Amino acid sequence: MLNHELDRLFQALADPTRRGLVERLTRGPASVSELAAPLPITLAAVVQHLQALEACGLVRTEKVGRVRTCRIEPAGLRAAEDWLRERRTAWERKLDRLADVLDEEE
Amino acid sequence: MLNHELDRLFQALADPTRRGLVERLTRGPASVSELAAPLPITLAAVVQHLQALEACGLVRTEKVGRVRTCRIEPAGLRAAEDWLRERRTAWERKLDRLADVLDEEE
């Protein structure tokens, strides 16, 4: 994944309303109006958040007739997760090698 | 982890310079000037990025004499990773249940 794509992905996740939408969609697909109904913001604001989630690959939407249905796009979640896991495991391997060196010196 | 802490964490990760600093620190601790040396930005800008990484729990710094040493804080990486993994696996469980229902209907 390119640097500017990761920028957009983490930027999209940095907002509590957008994380709430992601969380709701992991329980199943929903229409834009179903997503907006419980939220204390305007429909236009929800649409904007959904566009940000779609642009970075976390959500996929499809319009049939007058209803736009939104689904989670697990590849987006996985891309962000992979980036974090790779850095964490790199650090853990580094710590393990350090422990080995200390063992040898004993 | 609280919502505003996740906001700060993902916000910190949404910048390529800050992700670069995290990446560098997974290879081992470094002083602020070692971190700044290869970067095309001012020392003050590096310090600001490090403060953002420290505030959200991705980096820990310690000053001994005149040298500030920076280390990765793996708990920060893990917190962001956990949030993403929990949502992804919730969605995968949902898909599995859906597949079961379809199997039963056949």
pLDDT in tens, B50-82: 999 999 999 999 999 999 999 999 999 999 999
User: How far is the C-alpha of B1 from the C-alpha of B6, rounded, in Å?
Assistant: 7
Is A28–B81 a contact, with Cβ atoms under 8 angstroms apart?
Answer: no
Task: Give the pLDDT confidence score for residue A106 in this predicted structure.
Answer: 78
Select from B10, B77, B81 the Cβ nearest to the Cβ of A14.
Answer: B10
CB-count exposure of residue A39 (10 Å: 0-12, 13-18, 19+): middle
In the numeric block, which tokens belong to residue A97?
Answer: 């090698």
Three-state SS at A72: strand
Task: Give the pLDDT confidence score for residue B56 in this predicted structure.
Answer: 96
Task: Give the pLDDT confidence score for residue A95 in this predicted structure.
Answer: 87
Contacts of A73 (CB under 8 A, 6+ apart): A57, A58, A59, A60
Is B91–A26 a contact, with Cβ atoms under 8 angstroms apart?
Answer: yes
Q: Name the minimum distance, in Å, from the CA of A93 to any CA of chain B.
A: 9
Select from A10, A28, A91 the Cβ nearest to the Cβ of B13.
Answer: A10
Q: Name the minimum distance, in Å, from the CA of A49 to any CA of chain B.
A: 15
Q: Is the pLDDT of residue A59 over 90?
A: yes
Task: Give the pLDDT confidence score for residue B1 in this predicted structure.
Answer: 82
